[in-house]
Amino acid sequence: MKILGIETSCDETAAAVVEETRHGVSVLSNVISSQIDIHKKYGGVVPEVAAREHVLNILPVVNEALLKANIKNGEAPKKINAIAVTIGPGLITSLIVGIETAKVLSYAWNVPVVGINHIEGHIYANFIGDAKKTRKQKNKKTIFPTLILTVSGGHTMLVLMRGHGKYETIGETRDDAAGEAFDKAAAMMKIGYPGGPAISAYAEQLTMNNERLTIKLPRPMINSKDYDFSFSGLKTALLYELKKNPNYKLQIPNYCAEFQQAVIDVLISKTIKAAKEYKVKTVMLSGGVSANIELRKQMKKAINILDNVKFKMPDLKYTTDNAPMIATAGYYKAKRKKFTPWKKLKVDCNAEL
């Protein structure tokens, strides 16, 4: 079985083909046309501009994904078994481009469509690859229940997964998402967009210079009894610290390292608490912020201390928005025959898991 995945929920036009293997899926092609350079000058994604770029890019990107998967012109109706497309959450004008493309291809090729929730896609970045090669334990049932921390520009969620397609959200952010907080903090310090990679690069300088952290920021909601998060107060605390110091520009690595550590401390603390309470077998990371090297390192260390809990995180290239994750979620949904007739496929900007 081969699945074509299409992702256009925000500012990346992406398409990929994945193929069923004996124990999972492998990626045959992965094409992304990023708009970061276009939106950089505005300091964030401009929806109208993003949509126009998607319209220009979508067909060349899909075509390239097919050709790279060795599916030549005219062969797709025979070789593609399903089309997976992101239906939401995301920007309506961006999502529509991917969805309309999937509908037209479904009609023209007579191939079924699976609608994918964008968060579900991020979660399934952890399922890319042949499970036999990556799974240490022999009994494949033992990965569930799995706890997934999804941290992206739009979401911060702790999701309990009891099986494929079975999700329960146990906590989420009450205000800014973790990635959004990184982006806003970087904008306040004027160090670039997107903020996550910029903050993490500056934070690394502090470690490389063996300097000590001298700035102290709060860890919002770290001791709250629930699994919710809040990052807008942290951002405001940083703003006050910057205002207090007219020479803050000389200490950017210090501010970045403390800001990053504050976010990581809260994320790890809540994840560990939930992993223990729900007695999960596996913990997974997903979403753009899971590209953060310190978060990856520290989360792995924290989970490894727990008894009988495995830890998984996606390859770096599958952390930020990409189409193999959508195609992989599509594969597992197609196996359960969860198709949507193309006529009924609709955008759902606020889609819930």
CA nearest 264: which of 200, 193, 205, 318? 200
Closest approach, Cβ 85 to ligand KG4, in A, equals 15
Q: For residue 281, what is the DSSP state?
A: S
Binding mask 107-146 for Zn ion (x = CB under 5 A): ----------------------------------------
Q: Which is nearer to Zn ion, 51 or 71 (CB)?
A: 51
In the list Zn ion, ligand KG4, none, the entry touching 126 (Cβ below 5 to 8 angstroms by class) is none
**Are the C-beta atoms of residues 110 and 77 closer than 8 Å to each other?**
yes
User: Which two structure tokens, joined as six digits, stand for 117?
Assistant: 């929730």
CB 87 within 8 A of CB 348: yes
Can residue 321 be called a binding residue for Zn ion (CB under 5 A)? yes
173 contact, one of ligand KG4, Zn ion, none, CB 5-8 Å limit per kind:
none
Residue 134's identity, in one-letter code, is: T
- Reference 313, options 271, 276, 259, 269; nearest CA is 271
Smallest gap from residue 211 Cβ to Zn ion (A): 33
CA 311 to chain centre: 17
Partner interacting with residue 253 (select from ligand KG4, Zn ion, none; CB below 5-8 Å by kind): none
The SS3 of residue 337 is: coil
Residue in this structure with the two tokens 């998060």, named with its chain if needed: 229
Measured from the CB atom, the residue of 155 and 310 that comes closer to ligand KG4 is 155
Q: Which is nearer to Zn ion, 152 or 156 (CB)?
A: 152
Residue 24 binds which entry of ligand KG4, Zn ion, none, CB below 5-8 Å type-dependent = none
Q: What is the CA radius of gyration of the chain?
A: 20
Pairing outcome for strands 129-130 and 113-117 = unpaired
Which one, 156 or 340, has the nearer CB to Zn ion? 156
User: Is residue 200 within the footprint of Zn ion (CB under 5 A)?
Assistant: no
Minimal distance in Å, beta carbon 291 to ligand KG4? 4
Which one of ligand KG4, Zn ion, none interacts with residue 89, CB within 5 to 8 A by kind? none
Answer yes or no whether residue 340 interacts with Zn ion by CB under 5 A.
no
The residues binding ligand KG4 (CB under 6 A) are: 10, 152-154, 179-180, 182-183, 194-197, 200, 287-289, 291-292, 320-321
Task: Quote the least distance from Cβ 115 to Zn ion, whole Å.
Answer: 16
DSSP for 236-258, written as a single string:
HHHHHHHHH-TTGGGGHHHHHHH
146: partner contacted, choices Zn ion, ligand KG4, none (Cβ within 5-8 A by kind): none
Question: What does each C-alpha distance from 5 to 11, 15, 95, 133, 317 come to in angstroms?
Answer: 16, 5, 13, 23, 16
- Chain-centroid distance of CA 217 in Å reads 26
Q: Which does residue 58 bind out of Zn ion, ligand KG4, none, counting CB within 5 to 8 angstroms by kind?
A: none
152 binds Zn ion (CB under 5 A): yes
> Which spans of this chain sit near Zn ion (rule: CB under 5 A)?
152, 321
